[in-house]
Structure 1
Amino acid sequence: MKRPHFFTLAAAALLVNGILLPVPAVGVETTAQEAASYEMMAVPPPPAPGNCGAPYTLKTSGAEAQVRECRKRSGDIRVDGNVMDTDNDGQCAQVYATYNVSTATDYSPRACPKGTRIYFTFPWRAGSDAFIYLREFDV
């Protein structure tokens, strides 16, 4: 059985002297020695209230997703995008998100077999930041 791959996208940024600086622009977040090869974190700036952020692409060896965060003027956030299975490996691809305020976890439909692309829009959730994951898993 293959080990599942988890890739994350977390929205956060620093505003320093009027310049938006991502911290870090792209980095690897490790919690254990073996985690380094299975989990990565990018830190893009969050969208302004009432707007959607730029789309981001997440990739694993057998999956790809384009995702973005949108914020209401009230500050609630949601994630939308698509996910595609890119490898004939018997696994499905899926995006899921957690939030900095809401305790909910939202899951896209599974994308499989190879070549299947699924579009999704998660519900509005309390918070200003979404943590977005792309995973592959055995069915």
Structure 2
Amino acid sequence: MNMIKNGKKKIAVGAALTVATAGLVTVGLGTPASAVTCNKTVNANVSGGQASWSTSCSAGKMRIAGWVKDTRADGKCAQVKAMYSGGTQWSAKACPADTDNPTHIRYFDFNGAGSDVPVYLFTV
């Protein structure tokens, strides 16, 4: 009987650790606001970060321009990435400890081939 109770405890602890670990793995990775298309404006928020960007397209290329802001003094930074078919482009990190940037805002201007590009806001 004790073996069954111990076995159940181990399974419960293992499941809890798996759930906790899965949560840690996904924290900070961000989720796509959407695979953005041409001529759109997106406002995105995650815990500790905020961003806004607009898109435009011309001659098979998409421009994504906007800003990212750190919104929490938690030691993490906010960042945006766009995953073009030719490679990923990253914004500068907006960090709470930026003495040269007291507003905690960084601007970005990405350009690349495509008309349907996943864009992510996340904290690191």
User: Is the TM value for this pair above 0.5?
Assistant: yes
Answer yes or no: is 1:6 the counterpart of 2:5: no
Answer yes or no: is 1:97 the counterpart of 2:58: no
State the percentage of identical aligned residues. Answer: 35
User: Which consecutive segments of 4 or more residues in structure 1 shift more than 4 A?
Assistant: none
User: What do you get for the CA RMSD once the two structures are aligned?
Assistant: 1.8
Q: Whose RCO is larger (CA < 8 A, sep 6+)?
A: 2
What is the match of residue 18 of structure 1? none
Shift of 1:129: 1.2
Instruction: Give me the TM-score of the superposition, normalised by structure 2.
Output: 0.68
- Whole-angstrom CA distance in 2 between matches of 1:86 and 1:120: 17
For the 8 Å contact 1:78–1:130, the answer to whether it is kept is no
- Whole-angstrom CA distance in 2 between matches of 1:4 and 1:120: 19
Question: Within 5 A, what are the aligned runs for 1:96-135?
Answer: 96-99=81-84, 102-113=85-96, 115-122=103-110, 124-135=111-122
Runs of 5+ in structure 2 lacking a partner? 1-23, 98-102
Give the AA of the match of 2:119.
Answer: I
For the 8 Å contact 1:79–1:130, the answer to whether it is kept is no
Structure of larger gyration radius: 2
Per-residue CA distance 1:12-70 (angstroms, 9 max, x = gap): xxxxxxxxxxxxxxxxxxxxxxxxxxxxxxxx6x22xxxxx232111011100001221
What is the match of residue 11 of structure 2? none
Question: Within 5 A, what are the aligned runs for 1:1-139?
Answer: 3-11=27-35, 46-47=37-38, 53-72=39-58, 74-99=59-84, 102-113=85-96, 115-122=103-110, 124-137=111-124
